[in-house]
Amino acid sequence: MAHNHFKNKDALGHVLEARIKGRLASSETHGIEVSGYIGALLYSAQSTAAIYLLLWISMQSMLTPIKQTWMIFSFFFFGWLIWNVGRSAYLGWFRLQRLNKLITEEKYEIEHHRQQEKEELEALYKAKGFTGKLLSDVVNVLMADDNRLLQIMLEEEMGLTLGAFEHPLKDAVGSLLGVLSSSFVLGIFLYLLPSYGIYIGSFLVFVSCILTISKKEKIEFLSSFIWKIALLGISSAFIYFLSQIIKTIFLPS
């Protein structure tokens, strides 16, 4: 049966629309990487390695002395750290706000549109194979407890896993560790091998992050590795050749 509350859809159509809203609200806003603080850590580590590599290529192409390079890296580090930590905290908080909005809306529906909520439950459990008296008994039991009903509707109707969302500060800590660990590795290699250390360090950070993501997400390592290393290589080549052109035009020998 269609209701105005369902926007002229039947109960199952409304459930499908709600499931899409739930997916959008719970989606990670920093991409398709591993979720939570691990995702923030890996994203920040990869981004740190990439941006320091591009900075290094730019400065070396412009013949910036090593001492000045270290000074620029040191100043940049603090700004980059603050940006990444703040970004992760904000995105985590923004995601929680969207989820809280969905919870408030669903609670309102339970309190003011109980019949429609009952029809949604029936549609959900019919799709699971429940029929007849068993379907009626399950729906009546769930409708008897508003708190339980709210949890069921959020999880079954919208596809949310309420225990899977981490505190924004946890994401921020993950981002902090990502920047620190990546910067530490790059700094060690740059100190030991002033000419080539940044390339080796960036490569190792990228491979480590890609390998971790591949294991956690159960995706193919090789394809992810090729795509990300190719993207890093293209970006590096673009920076290098652009700096050479600029140097030739504006800084002739």
Q: Whose CA is closest to 198, among 57, 95, 75?
A: 57
Report the C-alpha gap between 79 and 6 in whole angstroms: 48
**Which residue in this structure is represented by tokens 């379907």?**
135
Chain CA centroid to CA 37, Å: 9
pLDDT in tens, the chain (253 residues): 444 544 555 444 544 454 445 444 444 444 444 567 888 899 999 999 999 999 999 888 877 787 888 888 989 999 999 999 999 899 888 888 888 888 888 888 878 888 887 888 888 888 788 888 888 888 888 888 888 877 777 777 666 666 556 788 898 999 999 999 999 999 999 999 988 999 999 999 999 999 998 888 888 889 889 999 999 999 999 998 988 888 888 776 5
Q: Are 14 and 119 in contact (CB under 8 A)?
A: no
